[in-house]
Amino acid sequence: MNPSRLIATAIALVALLLPAGAGAAELPPPASTRLVYAPGKIVPIPASIPHEAGDMVDKRIIPDLRWIAKRFPLYVTDGYSGPLPNGTHVGCDECHTRGSDHYNGLAVDVVPIEPSSHCDSDWAAITSLALWAEPVQNEPVPPFRWVGYEGDAGHGCGNHLHLSWNHAPAAQFQLAEWVEVFPVGPAEGETTPRGRRARAPKVAQGPAGGISQAKFGGLSPRGGGD
Ligand SMILES: [Zn+2]
């Protein structure tokens, strides 16, 4: 294939991929949600979801996150923030407010997949995602607990979008007893280490790799926000 043909093919491929994000604004909100009582675990975010190296979340939100990332091109800048059982710290330290869902691994901060610190067209998909999760300010659609974007200090177009999932009250650095999620199809489920698809419902299944222990100590009570 000659170079110009190669470029044309690449452009055509990009055009094929774009509608997923471009049409996302019209996506209906999740039709239903459910509470996942399967044990949580802080695990690395899979490679299929663009993210900052080392970022981790509670595995129970990964199918939702994968579903979202497929439709809204995004880059995760932070997930779980806190200690791991081996004593190391993961995530952005002292970035989040007291009681943040980041301390339970049930929140993510996202920015455009094309880095941009200005509110430009690169943010269109992130803005669409924010409106999908919270069509009316301070009224997040279940399973989301808190959405930080326009109108929320330290968030918004050109800054970042915060998404939290509803969950059972949990102390800082503890896994919540349950997490509310929206069901996703098999394509969004967790993959095995060999890359095979696991069968639905993914969130109720066994360990997905990552850290070796499910629980880790912690103290403080939790409150709201980002
Ligand atoms: Zn956040």
pLDDT value at residue 122: 95
Mean pLDDT of 157-178: 97
pLDDT value at residue 90: 95
Q: What are the structure tokens assigned to 219, written together? A: 């103290």
Residue 78 phi/psi, 5° resolution? -160, 145
pLDDT value at residue 218: 37
Q: For residues 48-85, b (16+ Cβ closer than 10 Å) or e, as one string?
A: ebebeeebbbbbbbbbbbbbbbbbbbbbbbbbbbbbbe
Residue 132 three-state SS: helix
Q: What are the structure tokens assigned to 124, written together? A: 């269109």
- Percent of all residues in the chain with a pLDDT value above 70, rounded to a whole number: 72
Q: What are the structure tokens assigned to 161, written together? A: 């979008």
User: Residues within 5 Å of ion ligand 1 by Cβ?
Assistant: 109, 162, 226
- Domains of the chain are 36-204 (3.30.1380)
What's the 201 CA to ligand 1 centre distance in angstroms? 27
Mean pLDDT of 39-66: 98
- pTM assigned to the model: 0.74
* pLDDT > 70? residue 73: yes
Mean pLDDT of 106-111: 98
What's the 96 CA to ligand 1 centre distance in angstroms? 6
What's the 16 CA to ligand 1 centre distance in angstroms? 31
pLDDT value at residue 222: 38
Round the average pLDDT of the chain to a whole number and report it. Answer: 81
What's the 179 CA to ligand 1 centre distance in angstroms? 17
* pLDDT > 80? residue 119: yes
What's the 200 CA to ligand 1 centre distance in angstroms? 29
CA angle (156 as vertex; 30, 94 as ends), nearest 5: 100
What's the 51 CA to ligand 1 centre distance in angstroms? 14
What's the 213 CA to ligand 1 centre distance in angstroms? 24
Give the separation between CA 9 and CA 16, rounded to whole angstroms: 11
pLDDT band of 136, cuts 50, 70, 90: very high
Residue 46 phi/psi, 5° resolution? -65, 155
Give the separation between CA 223 and CA 84, rounded to whole angstroms: 21
Give the separation between CA 156 and CA 162, rounded to whole angstroms: 9
- Per-residue pLDDT reduced to its tens digit, 74-107: 999 999 999 999 999 999 888 898 899 999 999 9
